[in-house]
Amino acid sequence: MISIPICHNRGDKTLITVSMTLLLAGDIGGTKTILRLVDGTEIVKDSQTQERLKTLYESRYLSGDYPDLVPIVKQFLQEAQEQLGENLHPEKACFAIAGPVVHQTAKLTNLPWHLDAQYLGSELAISQVTLINDFEAVGYGVTGLPESDLLVLQKGQHQADSPIGVIGAGTGLGQCFVTPLVNGIKVYPCEGGHTDFAPRYELEFQLMKYLLAKHSIDRISVERVVSGPGIIAIYQFLRDTATQRWRDRNMATESPEISDIVKEWEHQIGLTEVTVDPAAAISQAALEKRDHLSEQTMQLFVESYGAEAGNLALKLLPYGGLYIAGGIAPKILPLLETSEFMQAFSNKGRMKPILAKVPVYVVLNPQVGLIGAAVCAAIF
Residue 31 marked as a ligand binder:
yes
Q: Rounded to an integer, what distance in angstroms lies between the CA atom of residue 156 and that of residue 322?
A: 10
- Cα angle for residues 18, 20, 25 (degrees, 5° grid): 100
Instruction: Collapse the DSSP code of 292 into the 3-class scheme (helix H, G, I; strand E, B; otherwise coil) and give the result.
Output: helix
Residues 6+ apart with CB under 8 A from 104: 116, 117, 118, 130, 131
Beta bridge partners of 35: 26, 59
Residues 6+ apart with CB under 8 A from 29: 63, 98, 108, 110, 134
**Amino acid identity, residue 65?**
D
Q: Rounded to an integer, what distance in angstroms lies between the CA atom of residue 102 and that of residue 222?
A: 24
Q: Rounded to an integer, what distance in angstroms lies between the CA atom of residue 306 and that of residue 155?
A: 16
Residue 306 marked as a ligand binder:
no
Residues in the chain: 380
Tell me how crowded residue 47 is: count the other CB atoms within 10 A of its CB: 8
Residue 72 marked as a ligand binder:
no
Q: Rounded to an integer, what distance in angstroms lies between the CA atom of residue 98 and that of residue 64?
A: 14
Name the burial class of residue 165, with classes exposed (0-12), middle (13-18) and buried (19+) by CB atoms within 10 angstroms of its CB: buried
Distance from CA of residue 142 to its chain's centroid? 10
**Amino acid identity, residue 294?**
S
Question: Which one-letter DSSP state was computed for residue 164?
Answer: E
Which helix or strand (DSSP H or E) is residue 59 part of?
strand 51-62
Which helix or strand (DSSP H or E) is residue 267 part of?
helix 256-268
Question: Which one-letter DSSP state was computed for residue 221?
Answer: B
Please enumerate, by residue number, every residue annotated as part of a binding site: 26-31
Please enumerate, by residue number, every residue annotated as part of a binding site for ATP: 26-31
